[in-house]
Amino acid sequence: MTVPESPAPIRVDGHLETWPEARMFLLDKKSQVVQGNILWKGNDDFNGRVFLTYDDQYLYIAAIVKKSSPVANDNIQANLWNGDCLEIFLSTDPGFKNQKGPARGDYHL
Q: Is the pTM here over 0.75, yes or no? A: no
What are the tens digits of pLDDT across the range 19-75?
Answer: 777 788 888 888 887 777 777 788 777 788 888 888 888 888 888 888 777 777 766
Q: Are 46 and 67 in contact (CB under 8 A)?
A: yes
3-state SS class at 84: coil
Q: How far apart are CA 92 and CA 46, in angstroms?
A: 29
The count of other CB atoms within 10 Å of the CB of residue 53 is 21
Dihedral sign computed on CA atoms, order 71, 76, 80, 83:
negative
